Amino acid sequence: MNIQELIQQRGKENFALHDHYLNSQMVKVLKTIGFDRHYVKAEGAYLFDEQGHRYLDLLSGFGVFAVGRNHPHIVQTLKDVLSAELPNLVQLDVSLLSGLLAEKLVAISPAGLERVFFANSGTETIEAAIKFSRYATGKSKIVYCQGGYHGLSLGSLSATGDPHYKQGFGPLIPDFIEIPFNDLAALEEALSQQDVAAFITEPIQGHGVWLPDDHYLPEAAELVRRYGALLIADEVQTGLGRTGKWWAVEHWSVVPDILCMAKALSGGFVPVGALVCKEWIFDRVFNRMDRAVVHGSTFGKNNLAMAAGFATLEVLESENLIEKSAQSGQAIIDALQFLVGEYECLKEIRGKGMMVALEFTEPKSLSLKISWKMLEAANKGLFSQMITVPLFARHRILSQVAGHGMNIVKFIPPLILTEADIKWMVEAVKNVVADAHRGPAAVWDLGRILAAKALRIKAGT
C-alpha cells in the first residue's frame, strides 16, 4: 500500500496502536499531562496538529533537530543518495561517504583528534569509547559523575549517575566509580591508584543543565593525564553547536582524548553516532589485520546516515548556526533574567547557547510555600510541571522537565529560532512563571488539568 494513503487512512490510530502493541505507560503519561495531540506535519522549529495549530518545539526531539525538522537540503541529499543506487554496506569494502564525513568531522574537531569511529546512536558511541579506553590503557576502571547521563545500554548505563535508570537492571559493570560532578578532589582520589582507564563526563550535564566551574574541565584533563587515564567528553547532547561553539569543551579550551557525538549529526533523519579520538588510541585498538573488525556494527557507516551527517554539517556551516546558537541563547537568557528576583520560586536561569534551564526553588511566603509543599509531597519535582504543562496547553510550546525529581525546566530548541520565535517563547515563559506564583489557585488549576485527563484515561478516551 502507498504509505501516504496508509497514513491518511489510519492517522488517528497512533495512541491506540501504542496502547495495544508498544509502551502503554507512555500513552498514559501523554494523556495525563495533556500532550496527546495528533501531529500531522513538521517544519523547522514547528509542529502542526490536525487542526492546523502551530507548536513551537523547544525540545527538538531531545536535541536531534538542531537544524530544524525536515530541512530541505538534507531531504534533497537523502533523496539524491537513494536515487543514485549506491552500493551500501558492502562490508568487505570501505565506503566513500563515510570517508568524506570523517574528513569533515576531523576538520571541525579540536586539534589532535584525528580518527573517527561511526556507530548508530549516542549510547553505542559511549560503548565504543569505554571499550577503546580500556583496550588502549590496559586498565578497566571508569570514573563517571553523579547526575551524568550517557545512555541506557549496559556500559553507558553503568556510567550514568542516576539511580532511577539503574534500579533493577543490575548487576551493572563492576569497576565503575561514581564521583560528584565539578569536584576535582574526588576525581584525584578516584584516579590515585593509577588503575583508571577513563574519566567520562558531559562538559555540561544535560540532566539539570549543570555547568562546571571554569577551572574544572582544564584541571580534570590535567589530572587524568597525570594519572595515566583518558578523558572522554560526552558531547552527544552538547556537541555540534548546541552550546554556541562546535564543541562545549571549547568553552574551556580542553582537548579530550575521545569526543562522542550523535543526536544532531543525524539531521533528524538517520540514527548515527560518532567518536573522534587521538590517533594512538585507534592504532592500539585496531593494531593488527586480524583485529580490523574487533569493534563495529553492521549498520555503522551506512550511506544514508553518512549523507545525513555530511549535509547537516553543511547546513550548520552555511547558515552560521553555531554563532546563531550563541547569540539566540544569550538573547533568551537576557530577556528572562529579570524574572529571577521578581518571582520567588525562580532560583536561577542558566545555560550556554541553546541549552537553557530555569531552576525553581521552595518559596518563602506562606501561601506559596503550602502549594509548593503540596506538590512536592505528591511527586518530587512536580512544581516544574506547572511550567511545562501550561506552556504547552496555553502557549503551544513543547519543553521538558530536566530530569527526575528536579524542579528544573529545560529548553534545547533548534538552533534556527527566529526573533519572533524567541519573543513567543519569552512572553510565554513570563506568563506561566507569573501564573505559577498565584499560589494555591495555580496549583488547583494544574490539579484540575491533570485530574480531568486522569479521569479521561480511566474512562478509556
Specify the long-range contacts of residues 103-107, CB closer than 8 Å, at least 24 apart: 104/310, 104/313, 105/274, 105/276, 105/309, 105/313, 106/276
Kindly state the cell numbers that stand for 264. 544532531
Of positions 60, 98, 123, 201, contacts ligand PLP by CB under 6 A: 123
SS3 content of the chain, % helix, strand, coil (to 5): 50, 15, 35
For residue 149, state whether it binds ligand PLP (rule: CB under 6 A).
yes
Q: Which is nearer to ligand PLP, 82 or 152 (CB)?
A: 152
For residue 142, state whether it binds ligand PLP (rule: CB under 6 A).
no
Crossing angle of helices 419-436 and 440-458, in 10° steps, is: 100
Of positions 44, 68, 147, 151, contacts ligand PLP by CB under 6 A: 151
For residue 122, state whether it binds ligand PLP (rule: CB under 6 A).
yes
CB of 221 to ligand PLP, least distance (A): 18
Q: Which is nearer to ligand PLP, 276 or 368 (CB)?
A: 276
Of positions 74, 236, 428, 443, contacts ligand PLP by CB under 6 A: 236
| Contact (Cβ atoms closer than 8 angstroms) between residue 148 and residue 158 | no
CB of 123 to ligand PLP, least distance (A): 3
Q: Among 418, 426, 427, which Cα is nearest to 328's?
A: 418
For residue 278, state whether it binds ligand PLP (rule: CB under 6 A).
no
Of positions 74, 190, 240, 262, contacts ligand PLP by CB under 6 A: 262
CB of 120 to ligand PLP, least distance (A): 9
Kindly state the cell numbers that stand for 306. 553518512
Residues in the chain: 461
Q: Which string of b and e fits 325-347 if b means at least 16 CB within 10 Å?
A: bbebbeebbebbeebbeebbbbe
Strand (E) or helix (H) holding 16: helix 14-21
CB of 262 to ligand PLP, least distance (A): 5
For residue 62, state whether it binds ligand PLP (rule: CB under 6 A).
yes
For residue 280, state whether it binds ligand PLP (rule: CB under 6 A).
no
Site string for ligand PLP, 291-330 (x = CB under 6 A): ----------------------------------------
For residue 150, state whether it binds ligand PLP (rule: CB under 6 A).
yes
| 8-16, 72-80, 232-240, 245-253 -> range binding ligand PLP (CB under 6 A) | 232-240
What's the Rg (C-alpha) of the chain?
23
| Contact (Cβ atoms closer than 8 angstroms) between residue 235 and residue 203 | yes
CA distance 403 to 381: 9
CA–centroid distance for 42 within its chain: 20
Strand (E) or helix (H) holding 263: none
For residue 234, state whether it binds ligand PLP (rule: CB under 6 A).
yes
- Cite the DSSP H helix spans in 344-418: 366-378, 385-395
For residue 202, state whether it binds ligand PLP (rule: CB under 6 A).
yes
Question: For 283, what's the count of Cα atoms within 13 Å in the CB-facing half-sphere?
Answer: 5
| 178-186, 230-238, 240-248, 363-371 -> range binding ligand PLP (CB under 6 A) | 230-238
Upstream peptide bond of 413 is cis (omega within 30 degrees of 0):
no
| 18-26, 117-125, 343-351, 405-413 -> range binding ligand PLP (CB under 6 A) | 117-125
CB of 210 to ligand PLP, least distance (A): 12
Q: Which is nearer to ligand PLP, 59 or 375 (CB)?
A: 59
DSSP reduced 3-state for 15: helix
Who contacts 23 (Cβ-Cβ below 8 Å, separation ≥6)?
Answer: none
Q: Which is nearer to ligand PLP, 140 or 400 (CB)?
A: 400
Q: Which is nearer to ligand PLP, 151 or 351 (CB)?
A: 151
| 118-126, 167-175, 213-221, 225-233 -> range binding ligand PLP (CB under 6 A) | 118-126
CA–centroid distance for 185 within its chain: 28
Binding footprint of ligand PLP, residue count (CB under 6 A): 14
Q: Which is nearer to ligand PLP, 208 or 363 (CB)?
A: 208
Give the footprint of ligand PLP on this chain (CB under 6 A): 62, 121-123, 126, 149-151, 202, 206, 234, 236-237, 262
